[in-house]
Amino acid sequence: MTDFVINSIGRRVPLNVPGVGSFEPYAGAFQKAGPSRAAGAPVHPRSPQRTKSKVAESLEQAIKRSGLEDGMTISFHHHLRNGDAVIPMVLEALQAMGFRGLTFAPSSIPDAHDCVADYIMRGLIGRLYTSGVRGKLGTLVSSGEAGIPVVIRSHGGRARAIEEGQIAIDVAFLAAPACDAMGNVSGSSGPSACGSLGYAMTDAMFAKHVIAITDNLVDYPVGRNISIPQHKVDQIVAVPSLGNPKKIATGAARITRNPVDLKIAKDTFRLMKASGAIAPGFSFQMGVGGASLAVSAYLEEYMKGKGIVGSFGLGGISGHMSRMLEQGLFKSLFDVQSFDSAVTDSVRNNPNHVEIDSSWYANPFNAGCLAHSLDCVILAALDVDVNFNVNVLTGNDGALRGASGGHCDAAAGAALSIVVLPSFRGGVCSIKDSVSNVTTPGETVDAIVTERGILINPLRKDLIERAISAKLPIVDINELKDKVERLTGKPEPPDVDEGDVVAVVEYRDGTLIDSVCRVKK
Amino acid sequence: MKKHAGTENRPCRSMLYIPGDSPGMIQHSPAFGADSILLDLEDAIAPSEKDAARKMVSTFLDSFDFGSLIVTVRVNPADSEYFENDLKEIVPRTPDAVRLPKCNEISDVRAADCLIAEIENDNGIPVGTVKLHAMLETALGIENAFSIAKASPRVAALTIGGQDLTADMGVQKTLEGWELFYARSRVVMAARASGVSAFDTVWTDINDIEGLAKESKQIAELGFTGKAAIHPGQIETIHEAFRPSPKELARAQRVVREAEIALHSGKGVVSVAGRMVDAPVIARAEHLIALSRLYDYEEDGGGLA
């Protein structure tokens, strides 16, 4: 029987996850100190010999040579989005080779990969470490029928866990859009080009064995824009295709026409302006959700008009951000993951568009990640509660249907973190008494902007004062909740079994911020 | 009955059209910053959806909190089979006004006025509660503007329907809008002469914010009190056109101050900078000051449609 404790924000979390190990409860966003020394990166033992090619005959041969055994840890990355065919290809091969009980530790899992749920049921996957749990996999885990330990981590938290050794990758499988015979890998060219390979860079640095899988084996050397250098890559497998190029290279997201999102965006922009954040040297991160992207359009217009040049844009990078770089509105972009095809060209051609690994992006325990230098971040949410806690993982029914991503990393790091969301969605109020799951603690969220007003965290008295002087429509979060509930009714809390934890949610520092409970049928 | 929050004497610079069968839009209508909304039962609604839209709008009027929004319902024309049912369902729920399309002559307004009064009576609502906005969208209607405005005390506004009007005139709507210059002037003059509001027609290209800004400025200068919008993204641009200039505002504040001094010191004549000002000037100054208060938070102008 596992012991549970109530952490500092009142969430019930286990002290031990069977099959994984012990955890500390969350005690505050900046309470835990990092380790004095991280786990060393494994060496790739070789006798010094000249070789001209690391290309293996087949995926099976490469897996055999890698020394992979039952129960070991394999990693993947999600830069190919829903076009990715590498995860299904490798899992199929592993299943055929008879592996059992592997720890599956991808940076995240694209929505399309329902096959992961099947491989859990067939025993191939015995542990799951991920950022995102959606679709069939989310349903399976939430039903309690997966029967395996699941740990959900943020992107920064995953980088930290890899460096500390909590995720000890035995074999990393890299999707390589361009690769030469010695294993220099680039993400920004070839038929499956996806831009940055930020998450894969971290895996390659710390995995015991690295297999690059490519559909674009090019003459040596691969050229500039090397995402991952040859000295990190053990073997190469050439395959006909890494996936569906149409779904890898999605077109640039368009600015929304949804009037609710536009209203949210405008008020978010006004709040940013009122806060004083938009000044020369300004640094910024945003998502590609409807409202976030529209904020950047207002921002672009304003920065151009005032001649403001920002220092850097960070994160998952959208086509809109790369256009702002091109126009000189930011000096640099730091890109851990490119969101659309427009970004790939920028990664390839603009020297100020820098590929970064996930530790550089958001690891809380290094000498200073970029997220901690952010002036402002705009984040989406599934819902929030009256204590400003944010949930990006579980739906109104309590089932897993989201991804932790860099949400809590950027919220903690940025001087001004703003969550944008409509006050109700699908007839359900977005502001809860208590969210079904806390991904990002309220103490790191400065404001929530809805179409029906701006909610500012009472901890940010300075921001409240600035918003009042700018005559922004500030609303008390409890009042707005009541107002919206008069419209929508009060939602039933999800019907979950509190005694049955199906997944734990790590905060970026490795403590447990929440647990996900089994959804009753 | 519509939940009122004191909409009398509120400046009404913008009227946002919302299809009556679009609950998603109606439920968000208070969030967009418009001064008023027009719940449409007419052109935006397909014949097969007329009953559903009427029911939808009725339900919202019964139960939804529109806050300080002025709520108007555009009913179907008097010569349509829907007209009577529209009024019978809508009037008892007391929106601020009904917008009556295709008013050509006094008799059109009088007939609607009688029917509305009857419904008000039947429902124990004081006669005249629900105002009438007369839409002028034919050459005949424009020529009869003044008599239509004076047809009943229920008429609170004249509004020009540009698309039908240009069709009736046999011309095209141009970017410059000269074809509507006479009609607009005529409507403004008739409205001013009869003490009712004057609302301008919609700008149909939601991507052309610049064109909207230009036209809005023109019609504001011409004397219109408000303009209809077909997308929430147009509202701020329309409001911007009605913003008093700092110079205008400073002068208005002086006029009002001098008027107060004159009142308290028993002087019959108000003068500002050595020039006498009379009552309409003072009224306009007060209106400008009230208007300027609406702009505290709308400082950015423009917008993404």
Tell me, yes or no, whether B114 and B149 share the same domain: yes
Q: Is residue B227 part of a domain?
A: yes
* Contacting residues of A for B28, CB less than 8 Å apart: 259-260, 451
* Cβ neighbours, 10 Å, residue A283: 23
pLDDT above 70 (res B298): no
pLDDT for residue B3 is more than 70 = no
* B218 and B255 assigned to the same domain: no
DSSP E strand boundaries for A287-437: 310-317, 330-338, 353-355, 376-379, 383-385, 390-391, 402-403, 416-420, 424-425, 428-429, 431-432
Q: Inform me whether the pLDDT recorded for B8 exceeds 70.
A: no
Q: Provide, rounded to the nearest whole percent, the portion of chain A with pLDDT above 90.
A: 87
Here the tokens at position B34 are 């418009």
Domain end: B215, B241, B267, which one? B241
Q: Are B297 and A472 inside 8 Å of each other by CB?
A: yes
Which ipTM was obtained for this model?
Answer: 0.79
Q: How many CA atoms lie within 13 A of A91 on its CB side?
A: 28
Q: Tell me whether residues B31 and A452 touch, CB distance under 8 A.
A: yes
Of B28, B65, B297, the CB nearest to A451: B28
CB contact under 8 A, A263 and B232: yes
Q: Does residue B2 lie in a domain region?
A: no
Are B175 and B208 in the same domain?
yes
Quote the crossing angle between the two packed helices B209-222 and B181-194, to the nearest 10°: 50
- Set of chain B residues whose Cβ sits within 8 Å of the Cβ of A472: 297
Does B124 lie in the same domain as B217? yes
- From chain B residues 208-247, the ones with a CB under 8 A of any chain A CB are 231-233
> Do residues B116 and B44 both lie within one domain?
yes
B27: contact with A, CB 8 A cutoff: yes
Among chain B residues, CA nearest to A468? B297
Last residue of a domain, one of B202, B218, B241: B241
Q: What is the pLDDT of residue A94?
A: 98
Residue among B64, B231, B304 whose CB faces A294 most closely: B304
Residue B38, in any domain of the structure = yes
The Cα B34–Cα A87 span in angstroms is 50
Q: Is residue B63 less than 8 Å (CB to CB) from chain A?
A: no
Q: What is the mean pLDDT of residues B5-9?
A: 54
**Residue A363: its pLDDT value, please?**
97
In a domain, B7, yes or no: no
Same domain, B210 and B138: yes
Residue A201 confidence (pLDDT): 98
Report pLDDT for B302.
38
How large is the average pLDDT for residues A170-189? 97
Residue A518 has a pLDDT of 97
Of A74, A334, A72, A34, nearest in space to A195 by CA? A334
Render the burial of A169-193: b for 16+ CB within 10 Å, e for the rest.
Answer: bbbbbbbbbbbbbbbbbbbbbbebb
Q: Cβ atoms within 10 A of the Cβ of A490, count? A: 14
Quick: pLDDT tens for A285-305.
998 788 988 999 999 999 999
Check A260 against B297: CB less than 8 A apart.
no
- Residue B187's SS3 state is helix
Domain count, chain B: 2
Are the beta carbons of A263 and B33 separated by less than 8 Å?
yes
Give the closest of A255, A260, A473 to B28, CB-based: A260
What is the structure's pLDDT at B108?
95
Distance in angstroms (rounded) separating the CA atoms of residues B147 and B153 = 12
Q: Which of B30, B231, B296 sits opposite A471 (nearest CB)?
A: B296
Note the pLDDT of residue A149. Answer: 96
Which range has the worst mean pLDDT, A203-207, A433-437, B141-145, B269-273?
A: B269-273
Which of A255, A452, A471 is facing B304, going by the closest CB pair?
Answer: A255
Q: Give B171→chain A minimum CA distance, Å.
A: 31
pLDDT band at B295 (very low <50, low <70, confident <90, very high): confident
pLDDT (mean) for A345-373: 96
- Domain span at residue B272? 246-300
Is 50 exceeded by the pLDDT of residue B303?
A: no
Beta-bridge partners for A447 = A418, A456
Average pLDDT over residues A116-125: 97
Q: Which of A257, A263, A473 sits opposite B32 (nearest CB)?
A: A263
Would the CB atoms of A259 and B232 count as touching at under 8 Å?
Answer: yes
Could you tell me if B278 lies within 8 Å of chain A, comparing CB atoms? Answer: no
Mutant choice from A420, A425, A451, A474 vs B, greatest count of B C-beta within 10 A:
A451
Q: Label the pairing between strands B155-160 and A390-391.
A: unpaired
Q: What is the mean pLDDT of residues B228-254?
A: 93
- Provide the pLDDT for residue A214: 98
CB A426 within 8 A of CB A470: no
pLDDT for res A22: 95
Distance CA A287, CA A94 (A): 35
B19 Cα distance to chain centroid: 17
Question: Would you call B139 exposed, middle or buried from its count of C-beta atoms within 10 A (0-12, 13-18, 19+)?
Answer: middle
Pair B59, B184 in one domain: yes
Residue B9: predicted pLDDT: 63
Mean pLDDT of chain B: 91
Q: Is B3 inside any structural domain?
A: no
Examine residue B142 and state whether it is found in any structural domain, yes or no. Answer: yes
Numbered residues of chain A with Cβ closer than 8 Å to any chain B Cβ: 255, 257, 259-260, 262-263, 265-266, 270, 294, 297-298, 451-452, 470-473, 486-487
Give A78's pLDDT tier (boundaries 50, 70, 90).
very high
Residue in chain B closest to A426 (alpha carbons) equals B24
Residues B21 and B128 placed together within one structural domain of the fold: yes
DSSP letter at A168 equals -
Judged against a pLDDT cut of 60, whether residue B7 lies above it is answered with no
Q: Are residues B135 and B262 in the same domain?
A: no
**Residues A29/A515, Cβ–Cβ less than 8 Å:** no
pLDDT tens digits, B68-78:
899 999 999 99
pLDDT at B280: 82
Query: At which of B210, B226, B241 does a domain end?
Result: B241
Is residue B5 scored above 70 in pLDDT? no
Query: Domain for residue B305, yes or no?
Result: no
- Residue B131 within any structural domain of the chain: yes
- What is the crossing angle of helices A259-275 and A290-306, to 10°? 50
DSSP letters spanning A184-229: -EESSSSTT--S--HHHHHHHHH-SEEEEEES-EESSS--S--SB-
| Domain at B233, CATH number | 3.20.20.60
Residue A23 has pLDDT above 50, yes or no: yes
Average pLDDT over residues A56-78: 97
Q: Are A476 and A386 spatial neighbours (Cβ–Cβ below 8 Å)?
A: no
Does residue A76 carry a pLDDT above 50? yes
Q: What span, in angstroms and rounded, lies between the C-alpha atoms of B48 and A201?
A: 59
Token match 């509105």: residue? A329
- Res A51: pLDDT: 86
pLDDT digits (tens, 9 = 90+) for A81-119: 999 999 999 999 999 999 999 999 999 998 889 999 999
Please indicate, yes or no, whether residues B93 and B232 belong to a single structural domain of this protein: yes
Three-state DSSP class for A104? strand
User: Do B257 and B237 share a structural domain?
Assistant: no
Interface mutation target, options A254, A255, A257, A449, chain B, most CBs of B under 10 Å: A257
Task: Let me know whether B40 and B173 are in one domain.
Answer: yes
3-class secondary-structure state, position A368: coil
How many Cα atoms occupy the beta-carbon half-sphere of B131 within 13 Å?
Answer: 17
Instruction: Measure B12 CA to nearest chain A CA, in Å.
Output: 20
Chain B closest CA to A255's CA: distance in Å?
A: 9
Residue bearing the bigger pLDDT, A245 or B159: B159
Residue with tokens 């690059």: A212
- Residue of A278, A449, A471 to mutate, interface with B, max B Cβ within 10 Å: A471
Provide the residue count of chain A.
Answer: 521
